[in-house]
Structure 1
Amino acid sequence: MCPPTARYRLTSPIGVISDTHGLLRDEALVLLQGCDLILHLGDVGNKEDDSAILERLDAMAPVHCVRGNIDKASWATRLPMHQDIIVNGQRLHLVHRLEDFDPETPCDAILHGHSHKPRNEYLAGKLLFNPGAAGKRRFKLPITLGKLWIDQRGIRSAIIHLPLYIPGVAAAEH
């Protein structure tokens, strides 16, 4: 796991995932391949062995993670409630619940989870980005994650729907 404050110079995309709730789908791992940094926006899981999700992600790329409301296991107590990182000069603020964001926080993007509803929009000059939920399905919401590209043009972002079937990859729990 990465330190709570860090600066990065990246040319590859940043993977953004949230609300895995104890399930790291093979499809998510495939879509995160090639990312130089992975951000997990909380609700990793509430069991002791759910820390393995962060370990698997960390084997792919450096990981920053914030604590979600279900992250109650002993390993999760080390996770911060929010983090600020700088990538290619852009300030990213990570928080699980958007209502826990302090509007006085200087940032270019607010990355949040919790609602399981994907969000990708600019308000008042700041990117509000929720990758949705990549773990267990909630209601009829889609299974998604996100990617960010940060360069001289600024921050570009995308919500990616997990196909839930990739040839040659075992199907995950739906």
Structure 2
Amino acid sequence: MSVSRIGLISDTHNLVRPEALQWLAGCDAIIHAGDICAPHVLDALAQIAPVTAVRGNNDFGEWAAHLPVSTTLEVQRVKIHVVHDIADLQFDALADGVCVVVTGHSHKPQVEERDGVLFVNPGSAGPRRFKLPISAGMLTIEDDRAEAALHTLVA
């Protein structure tokens, strides 16, 4: 079975950082977990790989109307659920067969396994908020297994 690399990005808030584009280069797909704030962000990401995106609490207007609040996709039989704010998770991920939940909103990068489900927040790749890092993530899927790595884009 092949290896799939899924770039994870969130909370760009209208900013496309060259460091983010460099980190995501070569991935097979990109997930944006919301707070995109402008369509040019998705256009830039789509130059790298196909993009799955959800709407964040700062995504308004006609350009964002087509974005779902949450979505589920499957990569190599690994079910991935994406929602901007984990507080909006409407179901028991494990019971629904979801292996990975990707969120944003808090700007705090985190990878945590709970009850057999991998929860990943890539943090924020947008403007710095407080003293939180500028970051993104990568989900590597191989043989029905998913592993997540976080990467600091700007120290």
State the partner residue of 1:83: 71
State the partner residue of 1:43: 35
Residues 1:25 and 2:25 are matched in the alignment? no
Deviations 1:80-100 (A, max 9, x none): 000000011110000000010
Alpha-carbon distance between aligned partners in 1 of 2:135 and 2:53, rounded to the nearest angstrom: 17
Residues 1:144 and 2:132 are matched in the alignment? no
Alpha-carbon distance between aligned partners in 2 of 1:62 and 1:10, rounded to the nearest angstrom: 18
The count of residues paired between Structure 1 and Structure 2 equals 152
Larger relative strand fraction: 2
Alpha-carbon distance between aligned partners in 2 of 1:83 and 1:158, rounded to the nearest angstrom: 21
Alpha-carbon distance between aligned partners in 2 of 1:30 and 1:139, rounded to the nearest angstrom: 24
* AA of the residue aligned to 2:148: S
Unpaired runs of at least 5, structure 2? none
User: Normalising by structure 1, what TM-score?
Assistant: 0.84
In the TM superposition, residue 10 of structure 1 has moved relative to its aligned partner by 5.9
2:56–2:69 CA contact under 8 A, matched in 1: yes
Decide which moves more: 152-161 or 80-89. 152-161
Secondary structure of 1:156's match?
strand
State the partner residue of 1:167: none
Change over 3 Å in CA distance of 1:104–1:145 after alignment to 2 = same
1:12–1:34 CA contact under 8 A, matched in 2: no
Residues 1:56 and 2:44 are matched in the alignment? yes
2:78–2:144 CA contact under 8 A, matched in 1: no
* AA of the residue aligned to 2:134: I
Residues 1:122 and 2:113 are matched in the alignment? yes
Runs of 4+ off more than 3 Å: none
Alpha-carbon distance between aligned partners in 2 of 1:59 and 1:139, rounded to the nearest angstrom: 30
Change over 3 Å in CA distance of 1:150–1:12 after alignment to 2 = closer
RMSD: 1.4
Residues 1:102 and 2:93 are matched in the alignment? no
Deviations 1:8-54 (A, max 9, x none): x9634110000000101000000100001000000001xxxx20110
